[in-house]
Structure 1
Amino acid sequence: MSDAILRIENVHTDIAQYHILHGVDLQVPRGAVTMLLGRNGVGKTTTLRTIIGHWPAREGRIVFDGDDITALKTSERARAGIGYVPEDMGIFSDLTVEENMVLAAASGPLDTGRRDRIFEAFPPLRTFWRSPAGTLSGGQKQMLSIARAMAEERRLFLIDEPTKGLAPAIVSTMAGALRDLKRQGASILLVEQNFAVAKALGDFAAVMDDGRIVWAGEMEQLATDAGLQERLMGLSMEAG
């Protein structure tokens, strides 16, 4: 793939005594949504955390927009233009929504234009702007988590299961916001268990098993081939 914003080459990652990633090779195309799929426990979250630098790669390379970032600190990777939205949301419950956003805008004040785009994507955040983040619903907290990653200019977003446990109406809002991010030129690597969301959002997909990428291609090919889904993930998700 000639225009990949992110390349992961033969990456191995250990957590304590456990060897989790076994030579991951993955390319994330620029300006597209790439779904990272697979059963629980196969290494998807570890892959995102290795890319952002929370866990170091023992072997292999991570190349972001042409630069080798394998040895960079997490803060340096963030400054390079990578935003990370963890599954546990990573918000400060005792601070207001506004204060959470101010902290996320590390390079300076959150400008009005960016704030308004965030409000357009997630209207509840305008309503609860000065409310403690801990009082938000689960869906609203997830909106804030993604909004925090949008507080600065990012070229790549790593997002871990943004729709997990959310009501269908909130899932729809989340999907719409992620489409808007893509329209603004962002590239997205998205871990998602909801296959209906994956089909609706994904341009490309990569399937993991046992710490490796076992298939990669266009999302449409995976979404329309029940036999391929069953072979790769153990069950047909055609009805999902």
Structure 2
Amino acid sequence: MSEPILKLEGIETDIGRYHILSGVDLEMPRGQVTMLLGRNGVGKTTTLRSVIGHWRAKSGRILFDGQDITRMPTPAIARMGLGFVPEDMGIFSDLTVEENMTLAAASGPLSPKRRDRIFAAFPPLATFWRAPAGTLSGGQKQMLSIARAMAEERRLYLIDEPTKGLAPAIVSTMAAALRELKREGASILLVEQNFAVARALGDRAAVMEGGRIVWTGAMAELATDAKLQSRLLGLSVEGV
């Protein structure tokens, strides 16, 4: 069995005076989509931000492809091939779509090949390429947010609730783009509240409660066990 692409060992993270993560342990297989699930406020976003270095873990260790990145600055982590899509999208509204993508391609100009690949995944971005990003719809802004992470080759994507509040047609576009990233060999750690999306995309699942991982296993196992869903997530999604 290959070494995990991402490994968290006893991660504890505080935000101000609040203790958010209480010893997160997680191993993420490479080339798969791992769903990070749980009720609101259990530490999912903090886990992603601890990995990328936005919030510094006070103890524990984070290994990305075997290398300790726990104390590395965020730009250095990103240069290693780790992309982050925050829940708040992180786009620059006053800049055009093209300018947003140019800024995201830190190692050089966005190549025509990569641009065309992004247009194939998210056709509206081609239509609004030179329009201010602030004029896009909510779904189009989310497309741009994911596209920014795709501006360079990434081995691992951390994506925080990409389908939140979006129409079903946009959700389908997002899911198709994420499947394509996986097909190309990328690994994805995905926070998602839409269980139907989690069931359709996920290979593995890790469920959080109280700032730690309380269950890991195959997404298919969780998706077909209503009692397990009720115990871990507080509701039954059988038949969703």
TM-score tier (shorter): over 0.9
Q: Does 1:120 align with 2:120?
A: yes
CA–CA distance in 2 between the matches of 1:3 and 1:128? 41
> Residue 235 of structure 2: SS of its match in structure 1?
coil
The Cα shift of 1:157 comes to 0.2
Partner of 1:51: 51
Query: What letter is aligned with 2:75?
Result: S
What TM-score do you get using the length of structure 2 for normalisation? 0.99
1:146-179 CA-partner distances (Å, limit 9, x unpaired): 0000001110000000000000000000000000
Partner Cα distance (1:81, 1:198) in 2:
24
How far 1:238 sits from its partner (Å)? 1.6
Aligned counterparts of 1:106 and 1:238: Cα–Cα separation in 2: 44
Q: Report how many residues are paired.
A: 240
AA matched with 1:237: V
Identity, in percent, stands at: 77
Aligned-pair CA distance for 1:200:
0.3
Q: 2:239 and 2:42 mapped to 1: Cα distance?
A: 23
Q: Which residue of 2 aligns with 1:146?
A: 146
CA deviations on 1:130-156 (whole Å, 9 max, x unpaired) are 111000000000000000000011100
8 Å Cα contact 2:208-2:214 kept in structure 1 = yes
Q: Structure 1: which amino acid aligns with 2:42?
A: V
Name 2:42's counterpart in structure 1.
42
- What letter matches 2:36 in structure 1? L
Q: C-alpha deviations, 1:28-76, integer Å up to 9, x for none?
A: 1101100000000000000000000000010000000010001100011
C-alpha separation between the residues in 1 aligned to 2:28 and 2:127? 35
Tell me what 1:165 maps to. Answer: 165
Runs of 4+ off more than 2 Å: none
Q: CA deviation at 1:234?
A: 1.1
- Give 2:102's aligned residue: 102
Residue 203 (structure 2) aligns with: 203
Residue 236 (structure 2) aligns with: 236
Equivalent residue letter for 1:60: G
C-alpha RMSD over aligned residues: 0.7
Distance in 1 separating the partners of 2:146 and 2:51: 18
TM-score, normalised to structure 1's length?
0.99
Gaps of 5+ in 1: none
Rounded Cα–Cα distance in structure 2 between residues aligned with 1:164 and 1:25: 26
**1:90 and 2:94 aligned:** no
**Alpha-carbon distance between aligned partners in 2 of 1:123 and 1:27, rounded to the nearest angstrom:** 34
Is contact 2:94-2:132 (8 Å) kept?
yes
